[in-house]
Chains A and B, each alone.
Chain A
Amino acid sequence: MIRYSIGDRIMIGCIYLLLTLLAFSTFYPFWNALAISFNAGLDTAKGGITFWPREFTLENYSIVFQDSSLLRGFGVSVARTIVGTVLSILATSIFAYGMTKRELIGHKYYMLMGIITMYFGGGLIPTYMLIRNLGLMNSFWVFIIPGLISVWNMIIFRTFFKGLPVGLEESAKIDGSGNWGIYFRIILPLSGPVIATLALFTAIAHWNDWFVPSIYISDENLLPIQTILRQTLLSNISVTQMSGLDSASLARLEQMKNVTSKSLTMATMMVATLPIIAVYPFVQRFFVKGVLIGSLKE
C-alpha cells in the first residue's frame, strides 16, 4: 500500500486540521439557524441561542406551513426539478458532445453564438413577450423549455468529454458505432462525476428559482414551494413593520406574538433548503476515485 513519509504525515495532519476548522465554521451557522427555528422567537431575541433551543416550539414551522398550498407547491417543485434536470442534462450533454468534434463544420461559430448569450440578453420585457407569444404563460413548460440548454454547462461538459481517453472512441468506431451510439454507450457511462455535478447544479437552480414563476405564473396551483415560501415570509415580516398603521395589522401581530422575523426566516430557510441539500450525499458516490477507470477496464 501507499507509505507516508514524515513530511506527508505533517501535511496530512495540517489538512485534517484545516478541514475540521472550515467544516466547523460552516456548520455552526447552519446548526444555529436550525436551533433558532425551533426556539420561541421572542426568547431567541434575548440572545444566547447557540446549539440547542432554549424554549422549544413548533410555532415558527406552523406559521411557515400555514399556507395550505405548500404541499402542492412542494409537488410542483419536485416535478419541475426532476423533469427540468433530466431533460436539460440530456440535451446539453448531447450538444456538448457534438461540440467536441473537430470536424463539426461551423463549431467555432456555434461556440461564439453560445458564448455571446452568456453576456448579452434582451432583458425581462422582450423575454416576457416571447414567452407569452409562445403560449408558455401559466404553463408547467415555462420552467423547463427556456432553460433547457445551458451554454455554461455545455462548456463544462465539453471540457470533460475532451479529457476522456481517445482510444475508446476510436475502437468503438471500428466496431461500427455511430456518433450517437458512442455518446450513449461510451461517453454517458464514463461521465458519472461531471453528470452528477452538473445535474446537482441544475437541480439546485431549478429548486431555488422563485423568480420565473413569479413573472410567468399567475395560477396559484402552479407556484413552486420557493415562491410560496418567499411570499409567506415577506408577508409575515411586513406585519411587524406595518403594525403601527392600523388596528387590524396590530391584531395580526398579536396572533403571532412569540414569533419574530428572525425565527421565521430561519424556519423558512430550513423548509426551503433541506430537501435540496439532502440530495448532495447521494451525489457524492459519483466522486469516488476510480469510477471512471473501473468502467474503462470492463
Chain B
Amino acid sequence: MGCNRSVPDRRSERVIKAAILIQKWYRATMARIEMRRRYSLSIFRSIEYADEQDQLQLSKFFSFMLDHYTNLDSVSPISTSPTDPQVVGECLRITEFEEKIDVPDSYYGPRLSFPLTVGDANALIHAFRNKQRLHPHYVLQLLCETRRVLKLMPNITHLSTSYSKDITICGDLHGNLDDLLLIFYKNGVPSEQNRYVFNGDYVDRGKNSLEILIILFAFFLIYPNNISLNRGNHEDYLMNLRYGFTKEVSNKYKEHSTQILYLLQDVFSWLPLATIIDNKVLILHGGISDTTNLDFLKALERNKFVVFFLKLKSLLQPPKSVGGRHNQKEGISTTGLSKHTASKHDAGKTQHDSSLSSTEPSGSNLPAGPTQEEWKQILDVLWSDPRSQNGCKPNKSRGAGCYFGPDVTAKIFQRYNLKILIRSHEFKREGYDISHGGKVITIFSASNYYEEGSNRGAYIKLDPELIPRFVQFQSSNHTRRLNILERVGTIESSALKSLQELIYAHRSELISAFAQYDLNGTGCISVPDWAAAMESVLQLELPWRMLRPRLAQMNPDGQVDFMSCFYDLKMDQPIKEAQPALVETLCRYRKDLEIIFNIINKDNSGLISLEEFSQTWRLFTSHLGIDVQDDSFDKLVLSIDHNKDGHIDFNEFLEAFHFVHRVEEKANS
C-alpha cells in the first residue's frame, strides 16, 4: 500500500511546493509594481504642491511689483475688473450679441434659443461629444443668462430631500468632459427628479473646461432649483492663467476670448459658496476653519471676490491714489505678505473700487471692498483641507485656508447642528475618502487626473435619510483594459518625465549641492549623500533612494554618478547668445513669466515693449534673489526682436525655452 501511494504523493508534493513558490514570487513582484505606482502618485502630488507654492510666490511678486514699480505708464489703463460698468453694461444687453456677432449659415453646431430647453442641453452634449465648438455668439448669450440667474441665488443654497429621490453630489471635474459624460450616462442627466450638486473646480488642467461649464450652465438655466453649482478655488482668473483654462479659451475662440473670459470672471464671482441639504449636510469646495460663520457667509456680497490671490485692478492702479493702500486678499494665512501690507494700509480700511474711474482722486464716494474678515471666511471655505491632527492651522501648502482637525469639525457641527460635511479640493485615488470619523467626506470626480490610470473618480448618491452611497468610475481611452504592468508603466513614465524636467530646471543648484559631497572631485557620491542633496534642493519629500535607479546611474563601486541625472534631457536652445544659466532660469520660471506678461499686456496683443520686458525681468529676478547678469539678458532680448521695432512677442519668446527629452528626440528623428 505504502509503496503505491508514494509516487503520486511525491508528485503532488512537488506541485504544492511549486505553486507556493510561484505564488510567493508573484506576490512579491506585484508588491513592487504597487510601490512603483505609489511613488509615481507621490511624485505627481509633490510636484503639484510645489506648483501651488510657486503660485503663491507669484502673488507675492505682484505685491512686490506694485510697491516698487511705480511707472507702469506703458501699461494699458483699462481695468480688468468685470465690475467695470463699461464692460458690465456691454454684457447686460444680450441683444448686443445678436447685432455684433453674426452666426453664419455655414455653422452647423447647436443653435440655442432662450429660454433653454432640454433639447438644447442634449444638442450641446451631442455636439461636444463630437468635438464641435459652440459659436461664440451663443457662448456669450449663455454666460450672460447664467449670470442673470445666478445673481438671484443666495450665497448658500438650501435643498431639501423631501421631494425627490437621491441627490447626486459630484466633486472636482477639472476639464475632464469624459467624466461628466460618464456620470450622466450612469446616473442620468439633471432633471426635476434627478437633482445634482456640483462642488466646484470645473476648469483647469483638463482639455474641455469650457464644454463642461457650458453644459452645466445650460442645465442650470433649465432647472435652476434642481442643480446647484458651488464655486471652487479654481473659479478664479489668476488660477486659470496658470493652470490652463485661459489658454484653452484663447485657443478655441481666438477672436472673442477676451470677452468670454471677462464675462466668465463675473459669472464665477456669482457662483454660490455652499449648499446645505436638509440643514444637516453642508457641501462646499474646500473645508472649514474654527472661525467659519455660516450666517456671516450668507450675508456678504459674494461677487466682490473676483480673484482669490490678488485684486488685479489694484495691480494696475497707480499707487498715487488717495485712500491708501489696496487691501491685499490674504487673511491671516501667509506670513510675510500680510505683515508687509498691514503696515501700509489702515487697519480695516477697505478696498476702493477703482474701476469706476481711474482719475478719481479720493476714495470717499466709492463703494467699500471686502474686509479682511470676509476674505478669511471665503478663503477658509474654498481652500481648507481636513487633517487628522486636532487644531486649526494655516494651510502652508496652499497658502490660503486652514488645516482643520476633528475637533474643529465637531465644534462647527455642534454650532450648526450638522451631520456631514461634503467637500472636494483634494485628489483621492479611489475618488472619495472619509475622515473625521465619518463626518467629513471628500468627493473627487476627475478620474485619470494626473495620467491615464492614475485614479478613479466618484460621486455620491445621498438618499432621503441622508445616507451617502459612493459610485466609482474611471473613463478610459482604450478599448481593452490594460493590464497592471501597462497601467503602472504609463503612470510611472509620465511622473518620471515631469520629475526629470524639474531636476533639469534646478541643474546648477543641484550640481553645487552634489559637489559639496564630492570632496575628491570624482564625480561620484554615495547614495545617501545623493538623496540628501536632491531633497535639499528640490524639497519634494520623495523617496529618493527608491527612485535612484530611474534617475541616475551607479558605478560598479555602488556610488552614484551624479551628472548622469542630466543625461536624459537638454534645453532647446535656439538662441546662441543665451548663457546657460540664463536659459535655465528662463526655463524654470517660464510659467510665472507667462502669467506676468499676460497680465501686463492687457490689450491682448501678445506684444510687449523691450523696456517693459527688461524692467519686469529685473524686478522678477531681484524679488527672487537671483543674480543674473544684466547685459546677457539685454543681448538676448535684442536678438529676439527680429524686426527691431522695439516690441517682442512674449509668448513666442517663452515657447522657445523648453525641455527636450532625448529619448523622445531619438524616437522622433
Q: Do A and B come from one complex?
A: no
Binding site for A on B (CB under 8 A): none
Binding site for B on A (CB under 8 A): none
